[in-house]
């Protein structure tokens, strides 16, 4: 699903989440472990109005495990609970209800002291498109919850999904917009397929990706495309373009005169990257 965000959509998305906040105790903020900052909504702190929050780094199966650990430490230092999961297989998701309860610990203890039996913790999943919100809801529910997009004329009551005995989850997530102001954020989102590449130039996206990845994740590149020497000056565009050309030659993207069709080569590279053919990688590090 791709949404074109306009100011009106943002206002509506924000209002919808703020309506849902009234119903819940904790927010589960889902981000992509490969780009934990770039896949966050820029106004998230303001929108959540201080609701207790668990940050979940999803798609950790695709990310660099060492950098994911750094990100978790980073979020913890900022005072948030944070964990990594793979919503696709369900790896790590058992922690979610336990940590949601942890966030409510003081309230639960106060209730117990008054002799009140605390009810299940109520949670809402929020995040930008494509971070895996529906996948996580289905995994936590243990079944497929019908997709409930904003279809005109179709109004559906919100449902609570029981996750064990201690947590209840709203069946529709809060959908938020990504950051637009920073072009590098756009490139990172486009590299992972989170936004439509038509918005940006495909060669520019591939250039951005190659520049970062040959610096930090050279080995899988070298192996897959039979490359020889790692660039020495990553700030030199000629060296990055030379890698793109070598990839194009390897994939047969040659046009008349023996020139490499860089656009075609870029498209192929992006497909292979998104399909995980170049191994696990993270596009931004906290330190």
Q: Give me the residues that bind ligand GDP (CB under 6 A), please.
A: 1, 58-59, 61-62, 86-88, 127, 129-135
Per the annotation, does 172 bind a ligand?
no
**Which residues in 18-42 are b (16+ Cβ under 10 Å) and which e?**
eebbeebbbbbbbbbbbbbbbbbbb
CB 29 within 8 A of CB 55: yes
If the CB atoms of residues 37 and 128 are measured against ligand GDP, the closer one turns out to be 128
What is the closest distance, in whole angstroms, from the C-beta atom of residue 61 to ligand GDP in the complex?
A: 5
Please, what is the Cα angle at 58 between 55 and 62, to 5 degrees? 145
Per the annotation, does 132 bind a ligand?
yes
What is the closest distance, in whole angstroms, from the C-beta atom of residue 276 to ligand GDP in the complex?
A: 7
What is the closest distance, in whole angstroms, from the C-beta atom of residue 20 to ligand GDP in the complex?
A: 15
Per the annotation, does 58 bind a ligand?
yes
If the CB atoms of residues 252 and 276 are measured against ligand GDP, the closer one turns out to be 276
Phi/psi class of residue 108: alpha, beta or left (left: φ > 0; alpha: ψ in -120 to 50)? alpha
Per the annotation, does 133 bind a ligand?
yes
If the CB atoms of residues 38 and 58 are measured against ligand GDP, the closer one turns out to be 58
Per the annotation, does 60 bind a ligand?
yes
What is the closest distance, in whole angstroms, from the C-beta atom of residue 62 to ligand GDP in the complex?
A: 5
If the CB atoms of residues 77 and 158 are measured against ligand GDP, the closer one turns out to be 158
If the CB atoms of residues 85 and 108 are measured against ligand GDP, the closer one turns out to be 85
Tell me the residue number closest to ligand GDP, measured at CB: 132
Per the annotation, does 59 bind a ligand?
yes
What is the closest distance, in whole angstroms, from the C-beta atom of residue 244 to ligand GDP in the complex?
A: 26
Binding site for GTP: residue ranges?
58-61, 130-135, 174
């Amino acid at each position: 699903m791709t949404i074109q965000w306009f100011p009106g959509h943002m206002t509506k998305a924000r209002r919808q989440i703020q309506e849902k906040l009234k119903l819940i105790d904790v927010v589960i903020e889902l981000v992509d472990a490969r780009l934990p900052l770039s896949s966050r909504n820029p106004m998230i702190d303001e929108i959540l109005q201080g609701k207790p929050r668990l940050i979940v780094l999803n798609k950790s199966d695709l990310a660099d495990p060492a950098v994911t650990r750094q990100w978790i430490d980073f979020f913890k230092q900022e005072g948030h609970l944070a964990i990594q999961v793979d919503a696709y297989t369900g790896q790590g998701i058992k922690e979610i209800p336990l940590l949601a309860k942890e966030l409510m610990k003081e309230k639960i203890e106060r209730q117990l002291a008054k002799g009140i039996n605390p009810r299940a913790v109520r949670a809402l999943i929020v995040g930008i498109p494509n971070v895996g919100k529906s996948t996580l809801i289905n995994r936590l529910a243990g079944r497929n919850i019908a997709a409930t997009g904003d279809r005109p004329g179709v109004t559906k009551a919100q449902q609570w999904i029981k996750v064990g005995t201690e947590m209840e989850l709203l069946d529709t997530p809060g959908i938020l917009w990504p950051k637009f102001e920073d072009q590098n954020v756009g490139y990172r989102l486009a590299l992972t397929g989170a936004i439509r590449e038509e918005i940006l130039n495909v060669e520019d996206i591939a250039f951005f990706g190659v520049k970062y990845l040959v610096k930090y994740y050279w080995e899988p590149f070298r192996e897959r495309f039979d490359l020889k020497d790692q660039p020495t000056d990553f700030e030199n565009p000629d060296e990055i373009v030379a890698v793109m050309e070598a990839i194009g030659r390897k994939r047969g993207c040659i046009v008349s005169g023996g020139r490499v069709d860089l656009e075609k080569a870029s498209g192929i590279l992006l497909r292979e990257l998104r399909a995980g053919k170049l191994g696990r990688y993270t596009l931004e590090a906290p330190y």
